[in-house]
Structure 1
Amino acid sequence: MSTLAPRGAELADGPSLRELFGGILGDKYDKDTNPNGMINIGTAENYIMIPEVSQFTQTHPVALNNNQLSYGEGPWGTPRLRRAMAHHMNKRFHPYIPIQPDDLLFANGVSTICELLGFSLASPGDAILMSSPIYQAFAVDFGTKAKVSTVHVSFPPGTDQFSPAAVAEYERVLLASSQQAGNSGGPKIRAILLCHPHNPLGRPYPRETLIEFMKLCEKYQIHLLSDEIYAIKDFAAGGLRIGCLYTRNRALWRAISAMSQFSWIPVASEVLAWNLLEDDAWLEEFFARSRERLAGGRRLVAGLLEEKGVRFYQGANAGFFLWIDLRSWLPPSASAASKSEEGVGKGVEEGKKREKVLVDRLFEKKVFLTPGMDMFAEEPGFFRLVFSQEEDVVREGLRRVFEAIGV
């Protein structure tokens, strides 16, 4: 008999992030000290710029004063950090209405921000509408504690999901969900979430499409959430555990502030963050070098994939990854389900099983890519491949991928 409450037992019996991370990170590849270790070209981080940030922290040591060693200035971000972020956003993005420090709220990571938004904007059983494919952990971020589900929009063949015309597909799913909610108690859509730039497709949304999303949300009085996590991942400092929410909705600001004591950022991380944000000259050089290296990484990976006849999504021009197509190397379908059926019902489970065979082959070769079905892809065989690694890591990782698929 379990000593846990039902919700605790549900978590204990659920998917284990700890086991996944242990398998990937517990045997990390190093060309000198562990050449047979696991190569991770699936987790999206700006690895190639981490040495620069590490060097910056060594020349800008954190020295904490008496106030900073106490509870300081509150859990939603110190005034200095909020001023530094507002300055950075105004300088980089030139917003129509300048961003004010009091419009910003900080927490210990963007996953936490998503969870707080789920608590504040939706009730248990409600849903957030988003595209397919999409970052796999949104379902965890919104669902684990807030109990808010995710609903995914699929697009007809030939539809560019970043075009203004694609917004009509969101409205179609929104109306269908509303009808279902009214008839049978299905999930009520409370917000549309954009991953911007998109993960895993690596494209930003153009201005005209964003305007159509705003019109749609205004029409149905739902929220528009823009998850721009690669703004912080550009800094190659995910380990600082800092997420920032910008909102001019004061009721939302107050609701999230009321929960901020559970997501307090360590003050040492705040000091490092404002040191980075306040150094405009260093950032200019850092971002220029980052763009150059990421462009080189993309060219390298694209060239190696093309040499082996592996297709990938061609529209990617942001982020650290390519969406690659390994469908030709999946095992054959064990049922009579057609490809068009694989996105629903039993087809989803069969698709996951077929993709899992390929995932296991990759693991046997000690290389990790993010599986597409985990990212709500409509059919199996797509993978997210991260190219923001040193060249030797990327080359060896792809060598193992090609060996796993036999090309």
Structure 2
Amino acid sequence: MACCATPSCFIPEVTSSLCFAVPSPCPGGSGSASGDATWRETPDSGASLSKAATDCLRTLRIHDGEGLDTVSATNSSNDQQGHASTSAAVVETSHQPAPLSRRGDSHASKHTPFWDTFDAMLSNPYCPETNPGGFINMGIANNSLMSAELLTYLRNHLDLEPIDLTYGSSLYGSTRLFRALCHHLNSAEFNPVHAVEPRHILTGPGAGPMLDQIAEHIADPGEGFLCAAPYYNGFDADFATRSQVRCVPVFSPDGDGTEPSSFAGPSALRGFASAYSSSQASGVPIRAVVVCNPHNPVGRCYDRAALVHYGRFAAERGLHLIFDEIYALSVFPTDDDAEPQRFISALAIDWQNEAGLHPGSVHIITSASKDWGMNGLRIGMLVSQHNPRLISAMKSTGKLYMVSSAADALFSHLLLDESFYKPFIALNRARLSWAYALARAWCRHHAIGYVASNAGHFVLIDLSPHLAVAAAGGRTEHEAEALLWRRILERQVCLTPASNYHHPTPGVFRMTFSLKRDEMLEGLARLEDALGLEHWTPPPPPSSPFVQQHK
């Protein structure tokens, strides 16, 4: 939930064991590390790599056998020397532990009291039978709509082999998982121009670690990535915590970034040219553009023309183009829009011919977390079809990001099981559509504005009319928003302020609707208490047996 804005951000802190946002300076350094120009030139693989990535490539070559003749053997003189006698002097006791590095101190300072509060929230989840007073978390994107079917399937299909008790068949995934992912990504849902092959894929424990890895390998400390605001707040921490890469928000000059025109054609890039120039001038060189499609937190998909214009923008400036496609299969029908934009994968675009962009500059991140409702299994993947240099660089650190054999086996089995795969996607979409309709009906009943959505697990709702009471006493709108959030949290329910996603309007919140029906209704009732609204009578559950399995 941490965020890093430019020039300031909102870092939640705690008062009376509750969290709210206050302005705080951005973490992350400024200026870029100098690099070896020879190593940074990669004319055959699109945009260039970072200094760290080229160092990783050097390491790989040493491990592959190059330069081993320069490594001298250590002598064994220590075996022939006696040990010094133990001193009888009294050693003074130290009252302080050895210090951390500057990097360690920096990381420790970023662990605000908010994280302890959020952790306590996760450890106290609502359950109607065993913990009815627990927290209902409508702030984090968990999809519980398919949990019953998933748990049954996973319990019946954990089939481990002897090799799963070793380091497996690859340091960067497994031959089994690569085969399953290729089967998945070469399906009609993604419609790739070029078939995805195992050599194009790296895996790790979730999308966040893969974003962390790619930031380290395509940018140097103090450099930046452009991303249209509002955007998923995890990008800030994923890029900045270790790699010290800034995610630079791009604000639309003609709206708040949620309107349909922000996802269609060239208008999707309003503000990008000026943001690029401003960032360069301020000493934050831009190295990549990040596109979240389907979008978090807006819940919409970009049309093909918008994606191509992103490619042209990156090509003109020699930038990498990173796509987060973690909600690719979580697109659902809704009567808010008779013809909603369908999902188009970056794999389905011929970047060279349609946008003039070297395809080696295009990289895709996705995971098992959202479309498959398995945040806890921790499986993420990067697909880069035309940049073997980047793949090689990331392999040098990939052994630090290995996926558990059990998670690997379960997810591979699911992806290759046609009897489960397609029905699961269809049922999940139907339940997301129904759950969204329930949240929308609640908003309409209480005259609460919302942004029409047809993808993801959430909807943006406008609670700004409720800031007036909180703003009494001369408080700013952001202070009023923090107090409103505190009032909501006091009812043991959590939404996320959209300011954490760099939304420009105070009082807008992201509300997750992909909860089980009883939990969703209880959460909405608690929100009514927090906002001083009369209780709403929900419509009956869907009559279709297809959707009714959801309890």
Which of 424, 427, 431 aligns to 1:293? It is 431
Q: Distance in 1 between matches of 2:444 and 2:120?
A: 30
Q: Structure 2 counterpart of 1:362, which letter?
A: I
What is the Cα deviation at residue 333 of structure 1? 7.2
Matched residue, 2:123: 26
Q: Distance in 1 between matches of 2:117 and 2:379?
A: 23
Q: Structure 2 counterpart of 1:88, which letter?
A: H
Residues 248-275 of structure 1 show CA distances to partners (whole Å, capped at 9, x for unaligned) of: 2111111111110110111111111110
Matched residue, 2:517: 391
Which of 265, 277, 280 aligns to 2:403? It is 265
Q: Distance in 2 between matches of 1:356 and 1:174?
A: 31
Q: Distance in 2 between matches of 1:54 and 1:405?
A: 36
Q: 2:215 matched to 1:76?
A: no
Contact 2:471 2:479 in 1 (8 A): no
Matched residue, 2:221: 124
Matched residue, 1:339: none
Matched residue, 1:174: 276
Q: Distance in 2 between matches of 1:394 and 1:327?
A: 22
- Describe the SS at the equivalent of 2:165: coil
Q: Distance in 2 between matches of 1:121 and 1:400?
A: 45
What is the Cα deviation at residue 69 of structure 1? 1.4
Contact 1:200 1:322 in 2 (8 A): yes
Q: Distance in 2 between matches of 1:196 and 1:352?
A: 28
Matched residue, 1:340: none
Matched residue, 1:36: 133
- Describe the SS at the equivalent of 2:186: helix
Q: Which aligned pairs between 1:197-208 and structure 2 lie closer than 5 A?
A: 197-208=294-305
Q: Which aligned pairs between 1:94-243 and structure 2 lie closer than 5 A?
A: 94-158=191-255, 160-164=261-265, 165-180=267-282, 186-231=283-328, 232=368, 233-243=370-380
Equivalenced residue count is 387
Residues 279-326 of structure 1 show CA distances to partners (whole Å, capped at 9, x for unaligned) of: 122111111111111100000110011101111112x11001101111
Matched residue, 1:312: 450
Q: Structure 2 counterpart of 1:321, which letter?
A: F
Contact 2:224 2:248 in 1 (8 A): yes
What is the Cα deviation at residue 139 of structure 1? 0.7
What is the Cα deviation at residue 163 of structure 1? 2.0
Q: 2:418 matched to 1:280?
A: yes
TM-score by length of 2: 0.68
Matched residue, 1:345: none
- Describe the SS at the equivalent of 1:259: helix
Residues 143-181 of structure 1 show CA distances to partners (whole Å, capped at 9, x for unaligned) of: 00001111001112346221221314212211222233x
Residues 10-69 of structure 1 show CA distances to partners (whole Å, capped at 9, x for unaligned) of: 22222346414323212211112111111111110211112211111122123231x221
Q: Which runs of 4+ in 1 moved over 4 A?
A: 333-336
Q: Structure 2 counterpart of 1:247, which letter?
A: S
Which of 371, 374, 392 aligns to 1:254? It is 392
Q: Structure 2 counterpart of 1:378, which letter?
A: P
Residues 197-226 of structure 1 show CA distances to partners (whole Å, capped at 9, x for unaligned) of: 111000111111000000110110101100
What is the Cα deviation at residue 379 of structure 1? 2.5
Gapped regions of structure 1 (runs ≥ 5) = 181-185, 337-349
After superposition, the Cα gap between the structure-2 partners of 1:297 and 1:81, relative to the gap in structure 1 and judged at 3 Å, is: same
- Describe the SS at the equivalent of 1:93: coil
Q: Distance in 2 between matches of 1:333 and 1:361?
A: 15
What is the Cα deviation at residue 111 of structure 1? 0.3
Contact 1:75 1:265 in 2 (8 A): no
Q: 2:489 matched to 1:363?
A: yes
Deviates most, 154-163 or 23-32: 154-163
Q: Distance in 2 between matches of 1:353 and 1:150?
A: 24
Deviates most, 248-257 or 18-27: 18-27
- Describe the SS at the equivalent of 1:225: strand
Matched residue, 2:471: 332
Matched residue, 2:53: none
Contact 1:162 1:206 in 2 (8 A): yes
TM-score by length of 1: 0.91
What is the Cα deviation at residue 229 of structure 1? 1.7
Supply the RMSD in Å over aligned alpha carbons. Answer: 1.7
Q: 2:527 matched to 1:401?
A: yes
Residues 329-388 of structure 1 show CA distances to partners (whole Å, capped at 9, x for unaligned) of: 11237669xxxxxxxxxxxxx444222101110111110011111111112111111111
Structure richer in helix, relative to its length: 1
Residues 49-94 of structure 1 show CA distances to partners (whole Å, capped at 9, x for unaligned) of: 12211111122123231x2212222221112211111111111312
Structure whose CA Rg is larger: 2
What is the Cα deviation at residue 142 of structure 1? 0.5
Q: Distance in 2 between matches of 1:229 and 1:354?
A: 33
- Describe the SS at the equivalent of 2:392: helix
Residues 116-150 of structure 1 show CA distances to partners (whole Å, capped at 9, x for unaligned) of: 01100100000111011111111110100001111
